[in-house]
Amino acid sequence: MSTEEGIKKVSIIISKGSLEGIYPGLIMANGARMKGIEANLFFTFFGMDAITKKKMHNIKVATVGNPAMGIPTLIGALPGMSAFATSMMKKQMEELDIPPIPEFIEMISDAGGKIYACLASVEMFKLKKEDFCEQLDGILTVGDFYDLSAGGEIIFT
């Protein structure tokens, strides 16, 4: 909650499964932990790719329908464009010492950040707890997430 003393707790919802959809939440959670702020990450829908063992190492940049890319959708849909954009973005992040997603998740967890998956999304995609990385702290209902977030800020990235 925001007071004169500052923010004490943030709960960050990550719902997109692309690099540009996942990294903002990870960066915010890491920054929160570095400032001593309690941080909860709630992954839902395609955002769960960031914490799913089979997918977390292969997250790509979305080049189709992404106006921030500055390229026409037709060009973004060409074979290899997503791989090219992903390669360029990962190179830039490496130069800035921004870790890959699996390492970032581990860093946040090691710093005391909590990692949760959305139960409705888990059920919709027919996933099980063992499909997720070891840093997963639990699978929550939306109601549980609100209870966990009480008294803090909720950020939707």
Q: How many structural domains is the chain composed of?
A: 2
The β-bridge partners of 12 are: 41, 155
Give the model's pLDDT for residue 3.
Answer: 46
Asked if residue 137 and residue 80 are part of one domain, the reply reads no
Give the model's pLDDT for residue 66.
Answer: 64
Are the C-beta atoms of 5 and 34 separated by less than 8 Å? no
> Residue by residue, what is the 3-state secondary structure of 113-154?
CEEEEEHHHHHHCCCCHHHECCCCCEEECHHHHHHHHCCCEE
Task: Report the alpha-carbon distance of residue 11 to residue 28 in Å, rounded.
Answer: 10
Give the model's pLDDT for residue 79.
Answer: 72
Give the model's pLDDT for residue 2.
Answer: 47
Asked if residue 48 and residue 84 are part of one domain, the reply reads no
Give the model's pLDDT for residue 80.
Answer: 74
Asked if residue 33 and residue 14 are part of one domain, the reply reads yes
Tokens in use for 44?
A: 């839902």
Give the model's pLDDT for residue 89.
Answer: 79
- In which domain, by residue range, is 82 found? 59-99
Give the model's pLDDT for residue 90.
Answer: 82
- Given a cut of 50, the residues of the chain with pLDDT beneath it are 1-3
Asked if residue 92 and residue 114 are part of one domain, the reply reads no
In the chain, count H helices and then E strands. 6, 5
**Residue 11, Cβ density class (10 Å: 0-12 exposed, 13-18 middle, ≥19 buried):** buried
* CATH number of 152's domain: 3.40.1260.10
pTM of the model: 0.87
